A and B are shown apart, each in its own frame.
Chain A
Amino acid sequence: MNERKTIDLEQGWDFMQKGITKLKNILEGLPEPQFSSEDYMMLYTTIYNMCTQKPPHDYSQQLYDKYRESFEEYITSTVLPSLREKHDEFMLRELVRRWSNHKVMVRWLSRFFHYLDRYFIARRSLPPLNEVGLACFRDLVYQEVNGKVRDAVISLIDQEREGEQIDRALLKNVLDIFVEIGMGQMEYYENDFEASMLNDTAAYYSRKASNWILEDSCPDYMLKAEECLKREKDRVSHYLHSSSEPKLLEKVQNELLSVYATQLLEKEHSGCHALLRDDKVDDLSRMYRLFSKIPKGLDPVSSMFKQHVTAEGTTLVKQAEDAASTKKAEKRDVVGLQEQVFVRKVIELHDKYLAYVNDCFMNHTLFHKALKEAFEIFCNKGVAGSSSAELLATFCDNILKKGGSEKLSDEAIEDTLEKVVKLLAYISDKDLFAEFYRKKLARRLLFDKSANDEHERSILTKLKQQCGGQFTSKMEGMVTDLTLAKENQSHFEEYLNNNPNVSPGIDLTVTVLTTGFWPSYKSFDLNLPAEMVKCVEVFREFYQTKTKHRKLTWIYSLGTCNINGKFEPKTMELIVTTYQASALLLFNLSDRLSYQEIMTQLNLSDDDVVRLLHSLSCAKYKILLKEPNTKTISPTDYFEFNSKFTDKMRRIKIPLPPVDEKKKVIEDVDKDRRYAIDASIVRIMKSRKVLGYQQLVMECVEQLGRMFKPDVKAIKKRIEDLITRDYLERDKENPNLFRYLA
């Protein structure tokens, strides 16, 4: 390349000036041919040359200054005047046009001067051309008009809120200027526009809410609020910067919801209570959606939900209570049906509100907790002297036994059992339930009253899942025992077939049970008739061939017998208990016996004798004649076989009403609790050695809470008992402190 001719500043800038004027003309829309690549190359080359000449002819600094001056000159002479003469929307349009032109100008000019960027600016760490160009607009135009622009924009937004159509694209473009002018920083948008917009929004909705809260019902208000929030969200997506969304929604939620939360939720005829009462699930869902967004917004909703469910449940308790008290005057047999209905209703109530929690309240833990607490309150009340633990156990029994009052399909039974087990979670006396359940299970199993083995096993699985293996281990043992007993019986029959010389004389079925799994029963009380004594001997011999180290204990009170009664009209088969049979067989040897004689010969207690003689002489079937012929048994009575007795059936069952076991169950549970508390205290103290009273009680309650809610007084008594038994001592200095004595 040849030696280049030096260009002086004047000359070079003249050339540049021409190019710049051409660019301005194009921007102003004046007729002017587009830049050709040749034009562009020439301009670029001029700059290149002027910057690469040897000092003092290196004009980089001058050109850098002139670059900025060109913008300043254009803005002051053309842009600002045109903006100043326009207002409102027109001003906004003009600003948008000017900004977009300015960006074009920056792009082109910075290309012409590009060589400056590459060396001069880079070496001196000066602001790059692009930035200089944009900064000119910011300093001269934006700083002057941003206040006016902001007001115009906010006023347009308010117009849109009132339902007017506005040019969203224009707003989008204007707000983009606020963002772009920051060149990567959001502070211009945030300080010059967003802050005022948020304030205006708050004021706007504060005005609206203060009217709506007075005029509208709670559902209407919520509809409006939801709609407003939706529209504000739209607004953000259409023209606000996305970073504004959380701030904007927060403002709106605060004005519409937080400020009026209490007033809204407690509206007398349409508030949360009314919605729950009228089952307005849609409105409740909306309430959840709205209030889940504000801080602590759900607390009052869930607490009202809890109150409502508690009230509904308490009403059910009261209904059942009333029904039971009117029933009492009538027959005793029907008592129980009411409680059955009660449990059914509680299950329905639970279904209903669990659905609310799942659907309306989106499974939120706060509502699960409210539901749980509400059910815990009324589920532990009990009805008409029966604890809820007993009611649930009876309810299960009714479903699981043959001929119970509920007629259900298999699926319905499964479903109901599932729900009963769920309710059990709310019962604090789970141990009491277990004891009642075991009593009833024992009756079902031993008297062949269980309707379906699968259901028995299925509820045990469910209980096991919910309450743990320890809870059901005995019950499972009982069910297994019965299966084993059936096998054992067939072995026994085989044994009798193989040994014709041993014969019990009568058909005998024995159910061998494992002590410990089953509730405790009285044993070995009855003087067995000779016929039966032989049976017992034969079975014992058989059992010894099978096992050596097991002891058989006979529980006659659970036995049943089929005996033939040779009455004068016809012979009949009587199905009776072993007790009843033993009493009747006494009359094979004597015609007439006194109460005392019967009692001595049978070796039973007064209670038992009265009960069984009543069933044989005062109830439906009078197998024995009583002297005097009254309705109750007295120790001075005499009895005689009623040989004239007959009935249209050939086979009759003479029921012996079971003893009321409720008191015993409760006592048993109470005793077990004492052991449980002792064990828990010793466990805690063994690991802690020294512990304050309050904390000991607290830990004890916590440990035992899964099974029952121990009474603090009971714990105190156990602590004192343990002190007496030298497991613990009170600290000499501080009587609130206990020490473990190893």
Chain B
Amino acid sequence: MNKLGRGHRDKVQQFMTITGASEKVALQSLKASDWHLDGAFDVFYSQPHPKSFTDTKHLEEMYNRYKGKLTINHPYADMIMADGISTLCNDLQVDPQDIVMLVVSWHMKAATMCEFTKQEFVGGLQSLGIDSLEKFRERIPFMRSELKDDQKFKEIYIFAFGWAKEKGQKSLALDTAIGMWQLLFEEKEWPLVDHWCQFLQARHNKAISRDTWSQLLEFARSVDPTLANYDAEGAWPYLIDEFVEYLIENGIIEKGRVM
């Protein structure tokens, strides 16, 4: 996209807005018609697209239903904001705090918590093959089940860090991190999660780095909750080392045994 000239770029944008097609498809169609918009539309609509069965018009309508109102506070709010999301949750009959909303955000590749840009929303639903609220609602149980898949869970876990942190920050505020962990590990059932959160509040009280975030999942997955196979000489982030010390100091864990 960046390699394109201004005129071409505008055409791609226009094409995508009208058809709801992805950037790739837009480029293909425009190139095929030698950058004539009308020709490109012909190309696009005359070809059977695997994703075109999602009715872009419906998606557009859905987006418009949730997108933020242009107010003085949000003059540029061409995106779905917190209010819209809570309406969406209502329509889906899902609690906004439900972890499945994280999975939804993951599918939409949302950059930030409580926000969907139009591209994220429309693109995400398209790739999920959803073009109506009905279908959306039907897909919720499937998305919930995706958390059970180890590989997907890991992707979602890693995604959650970037999604939850404040824009422009390198690390994740402790409160947010703790909230996310409690949410995620409820799913994954790591028995030490409460101790971990208590430890962080008592001893650390600082933001969490990306490295610590991703290593904690590794720790929860590979180290036995009794710490029997924990290697103090290993490369675990120091915060995790200190957590282990804390567990032993406080008699929560003793010689490979949960007290």
On A, residues with C-beta under 8 Å from B are 693-694, 713, 716-717, 720, 723-724, 730, 735-736, 738
Contacts and interface: CB of A to CB of B under 8 A. Distances in A.
B181 to A, nearest CB: 18
A720 B218 contact: no
B220 to A, nearest CB: 13
Given A723-B211, A730-B235, 12 more contacts: A693-B235, A713-B238, A716-B235, A716-B241, A717-B238, A720-B211, A723-B209, A724-B209, A730-B214, A735-B215, A736-B234, A736-B235
B144 interface: no
B170 interface: yes
B214 to A, nearest CB: 8
A724 B234 CA distance: 19
Contacts of B209: 720, 723-724
A716 B238 contact: yes
Q: How many of chain B's residues touch chain A, expressed as a range?
A: 10 to 19
Interface in B65-122: none
A735 B233 contact: no
A723 B170 CA distance: 11
Contacts of A735: 215, 218, 235
Most chain B CB within 10 A, of A723, A724, A735, is at A735
16 contacts: A693-B234, A693-B235, A694-B233, A694-B235, A713-B238, A713-B241, A720-B237, A723-B210, A723-B211, A724-B171, A730-B211, A730-B214, A730-B215, A735-B215, A735-B218, A736-B234
Contacts of B171: 724
B170 A724 contact: yes
Nearest to A714: B238
Contacts of B233: 694
A730 B158 CA distance: 14
Contacts of A720: 209, 211-212, 237-238
A635 B211 CA distance: 49
Nearest to A713: B238
B205 to A, nearest CB: 16
Nearest to B238: A716
Interface string B212-242: 1011001000000000000001110110010
Interface in B17-74: none
B255 to A, nearest CB: 23
A347 to B, nearest CB: 38
Contacts of B234: 693, 736
A693 B212 CA distance: 15
B158 to A, nearest CB: 10
Nearest to A693: B235
B177 to A, nearest CB: 15
Interface class of chain A by DSSP:
helix
Nearest to B210: A724
Contacts of B237: 716, 720
A605 B234 CA distance: 47
Contacts of A717: 238
A738 B237 CA distance: 13
B249 to A, nearest CB: 15
Nearest to A734: B235
Nearest to A736: B235
Interface in B169-200: 170-171
Nearest to A737: B235
B199 to A, nearest CB: 16
Nearest to A725: B170
A723 B218 CA distance: 17
A728 to B, nearest CB: 9
A717 B204 CA distance: 13
Task: In the A-B complex, list the 9 residue pairs whose CB atoms are closest, starting with the nearest.
Answer: A693-B235, A736-B235, A716-B238, A723-B211, A724-B209, A717-B238, A720-B237, A720-B211, A713-B238
Contacts of B212: 720
Nearest to B215: A735
Contacts of B235: 693-694, 716, 730, 735-736, 738
Contacts of A694: 233, 235
Contacts of A736: 234-235
Nearest to B231: A736
Contacts of A738: 235
Contacts of B218: 735
Nearest to B239: A720
A724 B209 CA distance: 7
Nearest to A712: B233
Most chain A CB within 10 A, of B170, B210, B238, is at B238
Nearest to A694: B233
A735 B223 CA distance: 13
A586 B70 CA distance: 64
A693 B170 CA distance: 23
A724 B241 contact: no
A694 B234 CA distance: 8
Nearest to B212: A720
Contacts of B238: 713, 716-717, 720
Nearest to A717: B238
A693 B209 CA distance: 18
Contacts of A730: 211, 214-215, 235
A716 B170 CA distance: 19
A400 to B, nearest CB: 41
Contacts of A724: 170-171, 209-211
A730 B241 CA distance: 17
Contacts of B211: 720, 723-724, 730
A738 B235 CA distance: 10
A247 to B, nearest CB: 49
Contacts of B210: 723-724
Contacts of A723: 209-211
A726 to B, nearest CB: 9
Nearest to B232: A712
A738 B211 CA distance: 12
Contacts of A713: 238, 241
B21 to A, nearest CB: 33
A455 B97 CA distance: 74
B151 to A, nearest CB: 13
Interface string B145-176: 00000000000000000000000001100000
A713 B214 CA distance: 19
A596 to B, nearest CB: 36
A16 to B, nearest CB: 93
A695 to B, nearest CB: 11
A724 B238 CA distance: 14
Nearest to B209: A724
A713 B209 CA distance: 17
Contacts of A716: 235, 237-238, 241
A315 B219 CA distance: 45
A716 B238 CA distance: 6
Contacts of B241: 713, 716
B225 to A, nearest CB: 19
B107 to A, nearest CB: 22
Contacts of A693: 234-235
Nearest to B171: A724
A694 B209 CA distance: 22
A730 to B, nearest CB: 6
A426 B211 CA distance: 38
A448 to B, nearest CB: 47
A376 to B, nearest CB: 23
B172 to A, nearest CB: 12
A552 to B, nearest CB: 40
A693 B211 CA distance: 14
A720 B235 CA distance: 10
Nearest to A716: B238
A738 B234 CA distance: 13
A693 B235 CA distance: 6
Nearest to A726: B170
A734 to B, nearest CB: 9
A736 B237 CA distance: 10
A201 B241 CA distance: 62
A694 B233 CA distance: 8
Most chain A CB within 10 A, of B170, B212, B233, B235, is at B235
A402 to B, nearest CB: 47
